[in-house]
């Protein structure tokens, strides 16, 4: 059986992904606010919490710099600012060709990846994700 070659990907913050996630969280809060005001007008002052929720969502959506590495047998994920790595199992949750959302377990840890951030490793990363998941799960 042929082994897949090693792949290393650097995860970096992506303001566009962060903005989309923060916008979705803020719109969800806005929907809950509208529902609450529709049921009880006394909830109207809660509108003041929306900017705080938007700021919180922006901070929570930030991607921490990490390194994802396939060594030919298993996936390894480094913690932010740490040299040690953790053995993880990766699942592709969303694949939009130029953008991926991966879930690393244990955790779970959500890893958004964009092609424009990984131009040289993108093809190898995608091929490895789909060719090697069974062996990575057994590691």
pLDDT given at position 139? 47
Predicted confidence band at 2 (pLDDT cuts at 50, 70, 90)? low
Q: Same domain for 67 and 134?
A: yes
Q: Same domain for 55 and 67?
A: no
Give me the sign of the Cα torsion angle 30, 100, 85, 10. negative
Residue 114's domain spans which residues?
7-13+63-138
Q: Same domain for 55 and 121?
A: no
Residue 63 near residue 17 (C-beta atoms within 8 A): yes
**What percentage of the chain reaches a pLDDT higher than 70?**
93
Q: What is the pLDDT of residues 41-95, one digit of tens each?
A: 999 999 999 999 999 999 998 888 899 999 988 999 998 777 789 999 999 999 9
E strand or H helix that includes residue 62: none
111 in a structural domain: yes
Number of domains in the chain: 2
Among the listed residues 60, 134, 124, the one whose alpha carbon sits nearest the alpha carbon of residue 91: 134
Q: Same domain for 109 and 51?
A: no
Torsion, Cα 23 118 70 128, to 10 degrees, reads 90
Q: Which residue is it, tokens 């609450």?
A: 36
Q: What is the DSSP letter of 95?
A: E
Residue 118 DSSP SS3: coil
Q: What is the pLDDT of residues 10-23, one digit of tens each?
A: 888 889 889 998 99
Q: In what order do the strands lie in the sheet with 75-78?
A: 7-11, 66-70, 75-78, 85-95, 99-105, 109-114
Among the listed residues 42, 64, 59, 41, the one whose alpha carbon sits nearest the alpha carbon of residue 112: 64
């Amino acid at each position: 059986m042929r082994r897949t070659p090693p792949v290393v990907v650097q995860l970096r913050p992506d303001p566009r992904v962060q903005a989309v996630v923060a916008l979705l969280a803020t719109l969800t809060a806005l929907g809950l606010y509208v529902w609450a005001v529709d049921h009880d007008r006394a909830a109207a002052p809660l509108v003041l919490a929306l900017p705080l929720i938007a700021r919180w969502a922006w901070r929570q959506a930030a991607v921490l710099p990490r390194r994802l590495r396939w060594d030919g047998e298993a996936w390894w994920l480094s913690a932010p600012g740490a040299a040690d790595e953790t053995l993880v199992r990766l699942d592709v949750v969303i694949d939009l060709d130029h953008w991926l959302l991966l879930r690393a377990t244990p955790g779970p840890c959500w890893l958004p990846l964009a092609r424009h951030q990984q131009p040289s490793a993108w093809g190898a990363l995608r091929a490895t994700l789909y060719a090697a998941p069974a062996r990575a799960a057994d590691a």
